């Protein structure tokens, strides 16, 4: 697994190419990239992401290790930025590689579901009117329940 | 001595990101009550425990988790990564 938490920008195409090139025996690579989204009404000046150095890397490594234990993966990547971001900046990406697409898709979804509510990141939206912490969605917490039944591996 | 860490709006309400304290609290919940009794900022930060998550030595922990021997306890709102 490759876990990276960084302030700097990343090139999602270059990251995906080098991830894919490093996998042996994989027939499927799945990736997801999260992009800084403007508010529905517009006006987002920037988004600031705070995290808990130390715990973040640990939590991400645990999530990736669990995914690698549940599915037959050749490899996994989690890359997440922190600090100030502007609309349309990539925030984070995950990628998974497996022999077959089912494992790669399911593991990528699992990484995203756990990353959203179990990795210590917090988003703050800054507009001209002020700054507001993004509220966690109940749906994000609910999304974890589908992984608790070991028979539902989605493969 | 135990190291306390605060993040996001909890950090803003208590006015610091970390501090070292002496405490007799045995659990996360006891520590929260002790902190809430300090001043208005702390009282506001800890007024609704259902909106607070905690980590003991960088592992997510329930509010009834013991903190004896812990080096670091962190408080923060539900996470919003991704």
Q: Is A151 inside any structural domain?
A: no
Is the four-CA dihedral A47, A51, A57, A58 of positive or negative sign? Answer: negative
Domain boundaries along the sequence of chain B: 2-76
Pairwise CA distance, residues B69 & B72, whole Å:
9
* Per-residue model confidence as pLDDT tens digits over B38-79: 999 999 999 999 999 999 999 999 999 999 999 999 999 999
What CATH number is given for B2-76 in this structure?
3.10.20.30
| pLDDT tens for the 155 residues of chain A, in order | 999 999 999 999 999 999 999 998 899 999 999 999 999 999 999 999 999 999 999 999 999 999 999 999 999 999 999 999 999 999 999 999 999 999 999 999 999 999 998 999 999 999 999 999 999 998 888 889 889 865 555 44
pLDDT-derived band of residue B8, with 50, 70 and 90 as boundaries? Answer: very high
Instruction: Report the residue of A113, A120, A131 to disrupt the B interface, i.e. the one with the largest count of B CBs within 10 Å.
Output: A120
Q: Write down the pLDDT at residue A152.
A: 53
| Complex prediction ipTM | 0.95
- CA of A94: how far to CAs of A38, B10, B54, in Å? 21, 29, 26
Q: Is A155 inside any structural domain?
A: no
Q: For residue B72, what is the nearest residue in chain A, using CA coordinates?
A: A55
Structurally, chain A folds into a number of domains equal to 1
Q: Is A153 inside any structural domain?
A: no
Range(s) of the domain holding residue A19: 2-146
Residue B52 phi, psi (nearest 5): -120, 135
Q: Write down the pLDDT at residue A83.
A: 98
Q: Write down the pLDDT at residue A151.
A: 55
CATH number at residue A36: 3.90.1170.40
Helix axes A55-70, A101-118, angle to 10 degrees: 150
Q: Write down the pLDDT at residue A155.
A: 44
* Chain A residues whose beta carbon lies within 8 Å of the beta carbon of residue B78: 117, 135-136, 141
């Amino acid at each position: 697994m490759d876990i990276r938490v960084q302030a700097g920008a990343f090139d999602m195409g270059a990251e995906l190419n080098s991830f894919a090139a490093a996998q042996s025996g994989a027939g499927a690579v799945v990736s997801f990239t999260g992009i800084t989204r403007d508010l529905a009404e517009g006006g987002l000046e920037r988004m600031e992401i705070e995290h808990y150095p130390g715990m973040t890397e640990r939590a991400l490594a645990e999530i990736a290790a669990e995914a690698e234990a549940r599915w037959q993966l050749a490899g996994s990547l989690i890359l997440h930025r922190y600090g100030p971001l502007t609309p349309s900046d990539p925030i984070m990406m995950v990628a998974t590689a497996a022999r077959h697409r089912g494992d790669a898709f399911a593991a990528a979804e699992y990484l995203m579901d756990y990353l959203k509510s179990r990795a210590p990141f917090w988003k703050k939206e800054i507009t001209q009117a002020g700054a507001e912490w993004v509220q966690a969605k109940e749906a994000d917490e609910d999304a974890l329940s589908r992984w608790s039944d070991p028979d539902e591996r989605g493969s | 001595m135990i190291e306390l860490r605060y993040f996001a709006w909890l950090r803003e309400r208590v006015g610091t990101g970390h501090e070292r304290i002496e405490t007799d609290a045995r659990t996360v919940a006891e520590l929260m009550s002790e902190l809430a009794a300090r001043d208005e900022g702390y009282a506001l930060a800890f007024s609704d425990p259902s909106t607070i998550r905690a980590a003991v030595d960088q592992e997510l922990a329930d509010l009834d988790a013991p903190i004896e021997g812990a080096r670091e306890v962190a408080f923060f709102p539900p996470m919003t990564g991704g």
